Structure 1
Amino acid sequence: MTGLRLFKLKGEVTEVVPRLAEVEADVQDLVEAHMEAMLGVTFLASEYSTGPVHGGRVDSLGIDENGSPVVVEYKRSTDAGVINQGLFYLAWLMDHRDAFRCLVRNRLGAQAAARVRWSAPRLICVAGDFTRYDLYAVREHGHSIDLVRYRIFGDEHFGLETVASAGGTRTPARAGRRRGAGLEQRAERPDGAMGMLAAAVDEVLLGLGEGVTKVENQTYTAYQRLQNFACVCSRKSRLLVYLKASPAEVELVPGFSRDVTALGHHGTGNLEVRLHSERDLERAQELFRMSYAVV
């Protein structure tokens, strides 16, 4: 957003100058009230106490679309300590899993608590800006970290820009582990022709831009840039890709793409694309780019 200029077109064309919040709490309140739309994270708690030993409060706790625990930290402007502070709370969270499960159970129910993915906890830092040392640290820490820059435009517009993302060190669960009780199970990898197609899809989705990370879940593989933009499910004779692009904005082709808004399916996204061959993948790439642009 540092190079983005916003203009009001009604009446005389005037520039809407971006600004920072008056206080940090204004940013926190706004994001917490709309966390799912803005970050793809379900809000769980604000100013969550870490107890007398750690002596701190997590700005926001949440859980993302793939079941990963999320710590969100906010800074009004630039703060060199935001990443280290967030990592401190992330470490606390990993040492207090029962407390987090209890929080999820109380807010979202027992099924959601059983699906928490402890292999991929995330830290999201929302701030007015970041230093070049922050950008370097994201790549070196080995954790899943997103740095998100915010700006306020006038009285009605709030902008978020992901300036750096790292997927961290994922620890996929071993094949054959049972479901439930918070245990994870890795989606089966296709082989043969479908395996080659899956590898090609993986290359295309990861190559859409910087900051794309991959998360292997129980029944699908998610590709995210802060939020999921594509979820790939493997079948014996095809790959199903669920995208965040709006089905209403594309021309649906029978046997290739369909609107699954009202249909249950694995992963996130309401546009389903069916891939049987490399030719289908070529047809789907524009839809992939559309979905990437949405998030």
Structure 2
Amino acid sequence: MSSLKLFHATEVGVNEVTPRLAEAEVVVQGLIEAHMDTMLGVMFLSSEYVIDCDGDGGRIDSLGIDENGSPVVVEYKRGTDAGVINQGLYYLSWLVAHKDAFRALVRDRLGATAASQILWSAPRLICVAGDFTRYDAHAVREHRRSIDLVRYRYFGKDHIGLETVASVTGHSAPSKRTRRCTGGQPPTRRQDGALADLAGAVDEALLGVGDGVTRVQRKQYAAYQRLRNFACLIPPQQTKLLIYLKADPKTVDLIPGFTRDVTGLGHHGTGDLEVQLRTERDLERAQDLLRLSYAAA
């Protein structure tokens, strides 16, 4: 059970808003599917997707694709259900074994370009339920898949809260610190030394900025996410590193040569605030921005 408490403040005091479960699983599913991009950082593709696996059929509650191009299976339970993880993993395995079917779905919904950029190395399962047990949280850490356990609660008539209980990435990080953020390419001489050390320090700072952070590696960038991306790190470029954050540029005092509003400008990764890092002192200056973006994700 979540320990989160919500209070309604009035002029005469505060009243606790009692959390509650949805009346039915379909209520949660319908709300999240209608606002999946905002709530989970996932582009909604299909609801109740019918599969046939060796004669055993089934329905995937929701199918989507996230900001990094990773396929996403979303499963819902009204309350606590010990089977939700295994059920979701069954569907995720089917999806990986039937890439052409998912590719065709993406092509029909989002076009050929999106279908050609699917990140099959990092498929995700998101389980949304009223609660999870400590055994559920332990179990996901034993799997090789990327899994997010998300607890929901309704508060009053108009509010719903989502809380990440556990989040694991299904692929291991490179073992050498200096190769973490090179976009999957061998480091060049230019990336050696101070800039490579800075890339490693940035990686550690982003992974350690809060609970439940995972890294997803694409060719052009490394994405750091809770449920949604909060930072994207571009491989070293000559004399600097670029980070794109989800923090709103309008709420930040922009400093030439350090921060820049890139809203509407094309770039790799996601985020409208560009941060330029040349030294570890720049990284220290950026700490508040990293935390701000993490909180916004």
Structure 2 counterpart of 1:111, one-letter code:
T
Q: Secondary structure at the match of 1:291?
A: helix
Aligned position for 1:206 = 207
Q: Letter of the aligned partner of 1:229 in structure 2?
A: F
1:220–1:267: 8 Å Cα contact kept in structure 2? yes
SS of 1:198's partner is helix
- The 5 Å alignment of 1:15-164 reads 15-51=16-52, 53-164=55-166
Given the two structures, how large is their TM-score scaled by the length of structure 2? 0.91
Change (3 A) 1:32 1:5: same
Match of 1:186 in 2: 184
What SS class does the counterpart of residue 55 from structure 1 fall into?
A: strand
Q: In 1, Cα distance between the equivalents of 2:252 and 2:56?
A: 51
Report the Cα offset of residue 10 of structure 1.
4.7
- Offset, 1:209: 2.2
Q: Secondary structure at the match of 1:28?
A: helix
Partner of 1:168: 170
- Does the CA contact (< 8 Å) of 1:47 and 1:60 recur in 2? yes
What is the CA–CA distance in structure 2 between the aligned matches of 1:264 and 1:66, rounded to whole Å? 15
Could you tell me which amino acid in structure 1 is paired with residue 149 of structure 2? L
Instruction: Find the residue that maps to 1:119 and give its secondary structure.
Output: coil
Letter in 1 for 2:40: L
Contact persistence 1:120–1:171 (CA under 8 A): no
- 8 Å Cα contact 1:127-1:148 kept in structure 2: yes
Select between 41-50 and 14-23 the one with higher mean Cα deviation.
14-23
Task: State the SS of the aligned residue for 1:51.
Answer: strand
> Which whole-Å CA distance do the structure 1 matches of 2:66 and 2:185 have between them?
18
Instruction: Provide the secondary structure at the position in 1 that maps to 2:286.
Output: helix
List per-residue Cα deviations over 1:105-133 (Å, max 9, x = no partner): 00000000000011000000000000111
Distance in 2 (CA, whole Å) between partners of 1:186 and 1:28 is 36
| Contact map agreement 1:239 1:274 (CA 8 A) in 2 | yes
The TM-score with structure 1 as length reference comes to 0.92
Q: How many residues matched?
A: 283
Q: CA deviation at 1:188?
A: 5.9
Q: 1:27 to 1:187 in 2, by over 3 A?
A: farther
Shift of 1:250: 1.4
Q: Out of 64-73 and 242-251, give the one that drifted further.
A: 242-251
In 1, the alpha carbon distance for the partners of 2:186 and 2:256 equals 27
Stretch deviating more after TM superposition (75-84 or 246-255): 246-255
Deviation at 1:170, TM superposition (A): 5.1
1:86–1:125 contact (8 Å) kept in structure 2? yes
Distance (whole Å) between structure 1 residues aligned to residue 186 and residue 265 of structure 2: 23
CA-CA distance at 1:211 after TM superposition: 1.5
Structure 1: distance between partners of 2:112 and 2:94:
22
Where does residue 215 of structure 1 map in the other structure?
A: 216
Whole-Å separation in 2 of the counterparts to 1:187 and 1:243: 23
TM-aligned CA deviation for residue 273 of structure 1: 0.3
Could you tell me how far apart the structure 2 residues matched to 1:214 and 1:290 are? 18
What is the SS of the residue equivalent to 1:47?
strand
Are the equivalent residues in 2 in contact too, given 1:187–1:221 (CA < 8 A)?
Answer: no
The CA distance in 2 between the partners of 1:28 and 1:11, in whole Å, is: 36
Distance across 2 between alignment mates of 1:187 and 1:266:
16
